[in-house]
A and B are shown apart, each in its own frame.
Chain A
């Protein structure tokens, strides 16, 4: 009788220990997986934010030349003169996408869906603009990464 009691007590302890261990293992594993998953998402978020900001930093677009045409806008027959001819150059080390060229805020806005500009390359665009001699024209360029480049030029 005494031996039987001892055996039962030992069995329940083993079971309890097994249960406890299982519970700890399951809970611990869940916690570790959950924290890992969270950390992964933080890592991804950090990586995305960091790389997009670094890429935006490295964008280096220059409005290289602005030419005000009166009658013959580079032979562009589709363009009703007078007009403005803008040359953009990518002086950075990464490619960029020109998404919008704006002249004088809302006066002349051109949106591009796909205007890639590789490093060291130029991009020409011209549009109809009734420019006045000696009047300042504000040109704003927006890229696909959200960088904004502004320049002011005066008509001849």
Chain B
């Protein structure tokens, strides 16, 4: 009787052990699987957070040696790997290409001379408009337009001082302001002013002596204003007037500013 009781206990124990081992195995496996899943979710989450933290700004864009010369600043807290540069010539029809960059930018640092060393070389024409896109290894991008002022009309005004004079001959100061009123990330390049010959009544003359100062703005970011100054000599008799206009090289023909100066 004692022996039989022992046998049933052994049999029960065997089954209990099998059940326990199976359960423990299943639970361990499930927990491992969940752990992997959890790690994957955390990694993806971190990747998404990193993507959001990655920020860079355009520092400058010029055309040097007939090539693009782009500088960007890493304004975020994470290193950025700029992998590729897409360029579309918006003046020409259907011209687009991409080039490998693969350069790291530390937080707070600048990456300069982007576009100067590419294989194959990327040549830029200052008279053309370009859409440029820099891609990072996290899939983010910095896109901007650069080009001549001839793409869209710009806000501009001309101011001359003094506007009226009592004297037959006077030195005048002319200020020509051009504002890049295009939408953000539209950078204008090679802003060069042109001052027309003055159209005068009577025997008046309006002649530039010095200017423009500065001769040009290499780049004009969106929202910025370029100011050019000329010094002129105005001479004439009473009621004589001079009409003068200023515009931009490679600009739209109908996009100009004008001012009139006269003798009282």
Contact = CB atoms under 8 A, between A and B. Distances in A.
Interface of A: 17, 21, 24-25, 28, 31-32, 35-36, 39, 42-43, 46-47, 50, 53-54, 57-58, 60, 62, 64-65, 67, 69-74, 85, 87, 89, 91, 156
A65 B22 contact: no
Range of interface residues on chain B?
35 or more
Contact of A64 (B14, B47, B135): B135
Given A21-B11, A25-B11, A46 B33 contact: yes
A134 B184 CA distance: 15
Contacts of B37: 50, 53-54
Contacts of B18: 32
Contact of A47 (B11, B33, B47, B131): B33
Contacts of A35: 19, 22
B185 interface: no
B19 A32 contact: yes
A32 B22 contact: yes
Interface of B: 4, 7-8, 11, 14-15, 18-19, 22, 25-26, 29-30, 33-34, 36-37, 40-41, 44, 47, 84, 86, 88, 90, 93-94, 96, 98, 131, 133, 135, 137-139, 141
Given A57-B41, A71-B94, 6 more contacts: A17-B7, A28-B15, A32-B18, A60-B139, A65-B98, A156-B90
5 contacts: A17-B4, A65-B98, A67-B88, A67-B96, A71-B94
4 A-B pairs with the lowest CB-CB distances in the bound complex, closest first: A62-B139, A72-B94, A54-B40, A28-B15
A40 to B, nearest CB: 9
B29 A65 contact: no
A153 to B, nearest CB: 10
A65 B84 CA distance: 11
Nearest to A61: B139
A56 to B, nearest CB: 10
Given A17-B4, A72-B93, A73-B94, A39 B84 contact: no
Contacts of A69: 94
Contact of A39 (B26, B93, B131, B138): B26
Main secondary structure of the interface of B (DSSP, over half): helix
B23 to A, nearest CB: 8
B86 A64 contact: yes
A47 B29 CA distance: 9
A50 B94 CA distance: 45
Contact of B33 (A28, A50, A65): A50
A54 B4 contact: no
Nearest to B135: A64
Contacts of B98: 65, 87
A85 B86 CA distance: 13
A74 B4 CA distance: 88
Nearest to A91: B139
A83 to B, nearest CB: 9
Given A21-B11, A32-B15, A36-B22, A58 B40 contact: yes
A43 B23 CA distance: 12
B94 A70 contact: yes
Contacts of B40: 53-54, 57-58
B93 A71 contact: yes
Contacts of A60: 47, 139
A91 B88 contact: no
B11 A28 contact: yes
A35 to B, nearest CB: 6
A21 B33 contact: no
A47 B34 CA distance: 9
A116 B15 CA distance: 50
A35 B227 CA distance: 84
Nearest to B137: A91
A98 to B, nearest CB: 16
